[in-house]
Amino acid sequence: MTAIIRPALSLLAGFTLLLGVAVPLAFTGVAQLLMPGAANGSLVLREGRPVGSALVGQAFTGQEWFQPRPSATLADGEAAAYNAMAGAASNLGPSSAALLQAIEGRVAGLGGGPVPADAATASASGLDPHVSPENAARQVARIAAARGLPAPRVAALVAEMTEGRELGIFGAPRVNVLALNLRLAALR
């Protein structure tokens, strides 16, 4: 019996050390060496302190801030949007009455009329940190008025912060709301 159990336990211990300790440490070391920012969560720092991640949206309250896409991470009675622990799709399809009702409510909350799609719909994860340039441009007048800034200056900031397509062909132009709001806060 020990002739069978001893090699099995030895293999279990060996593979646990190899695959449970050595390989993860090696991957972590390589990631820290080659791309430390991404390996550490793509943290956005302000005055040396982390204020968020470039990869996860966060809520901004007040008329003086650019607003992100709606968060799909709000559960009934939950107060905090963009909860990364709850990141998941709503699984509501295009024929869903609940989805249509949510979109209509969001459009009405934005003053009605045509709005960019990303202003009324959540992303697949519910955590998207970006908005379309059209969504950001739609917010310029409100923010300029709330901050007492000239609208062309705020619009220029949006244009400056607009990121292009990946490799020039993938995705769509977008604006990272956290980065934009940090730059907005730095304006005098």
CA 169 to chain centre: 21
Give pTM, 2 decimals: 0.77
Specify whether the CB–CB gap between 163 and 175 falls below 8 A. Answer: yes
**What phi-psi label fits residue 8: left (phi over 0), alpha (psi between -120 and 50 degrees) or beta?**
alpha
Tens-place pLDDT, residues 96-111 = 898 888 889 889 988 8
Ranges of each domain in the chain: 2-37, 41-186
| Residue 121, pLDDT above cutoff 70 | yes
Give me the half-sphere count of Cα atoms (radius 13 Å) on the Cβ side of residue 78.
12
Range from 71-75, 102-106, 116-120, 138-142 carrying the lowest mean pLDDT: 71-75
pLDDT of residue 88: 67
